[in-house]
């Protein structure tokens, strides 16, 4: 049963991040369809309400995928570099994946929200062109999904390891009541 739930959580995370990525790229395409005038690095263009909606939807899905992975993945706590070096491979992978997923979340969120907000203004926007914010944010959503799945799987494996270790008394070769090593 736990394996089925883990598979469904991983599938849900990937579907949400892939959908967020596709919406980000579609928002970029919708933004490029509006009328714009470009001169060197300066550009005047009309905002695209479709790009605004798609960009915000991508942001919401990105955040929801991150929250779900962190809630279901549990809490991996590491106090020092020494503890990280002595940790099991699953705990190390979970820690690294969690850190990288937070970094990717910050970058993708910033790009997607900046691209969406640039399309929220009711009149023409003139200034330095900011191309590809939405599409780069969308691509980062795909990578974010990979790191979230890696985090979830490794965190779940680490929690299973800890549960098994605590059920067996915490020692692998602890003598049993007859003096024979288990």
pTM given for the model: 0.82
d(CA 107, CA 109): 5
Q: Any idea which of 2-11, 139-148, 149-158 has the lowest mean pLDDT?
A: 2-11
**pLDDT top residue among 1 and 6:** 6
pLDDT at 169 over 70: no
Three-class secondary structure of residue 44 per DSSP: strand
Residue 92, burial from CB neighbour count under 10 angstroms (0-12, 13-18, 19+): middle
> Which residue do the tokens 């494996």 mark?
157
The alpha carbon of residue 63 and the mean position of all alpha carbons in its chain are separated, in whole angstroms, by 8
Three-class secondary structure of residue 174 per DSSP: coil
Q: Could you tell me which of 109, 114, 91 has the C-alpha nearest to residue 165?
A: 91
Query: Which residues, in sequence order, are bridge partners of residue 45?
Result: 36, 125
Q: What is the pLDDT of residues 4-20, one digit of tens each?
A: 788 899 999 999 999 99
Q: What is the pLDDT of residues 37-79, one digit of tens each?
A: 666 667 777 788 999 999 999 999 999 999 999 998 887 778 8
Average pLDDT over residues 146-153: 94
d(CA 127, CA 84): 47
d(CA 69, CA 90): 16
d(CA 70, CA 7): 15
């Amino acid at each position: 049963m736990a394996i089925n739930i883990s598979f469904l959580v991983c599938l849900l995370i990937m579907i949400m991040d892939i959908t967020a990525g596709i919406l980000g790229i579609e928002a970029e395409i919708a933004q490029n369809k509006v009328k714009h005038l470009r001169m060197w690095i300066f550009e005047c263009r009309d905002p695209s309400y479709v790009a605004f909606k798609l960009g915000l939807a991508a942001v919401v899905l990105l955040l929801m995928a991150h929250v779900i992975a962190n809630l279901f993945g549990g809490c991996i706590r590491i106090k020092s570099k020494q503890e990280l070096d002595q940790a099991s491979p699953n705990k190390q992978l979970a820690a690294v994946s969690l850190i990288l997923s937070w970094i990717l979340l910050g970058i993708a969120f910033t790009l997607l929200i900046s691209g969406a907000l640039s399309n929220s203004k009711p009149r023409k926007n003139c200034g330095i062109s900011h191309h590809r914010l939405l599409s780069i944010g969308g691509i980062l959503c795909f990578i974010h999904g990979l790191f979230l799945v890696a985090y979830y799987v490794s965190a779940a494996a680490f929690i299973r390891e800890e549960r098994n270790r605590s059920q067996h008394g915490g020692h692998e070769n602890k003598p049993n009541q007859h003096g024979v090593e288990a």
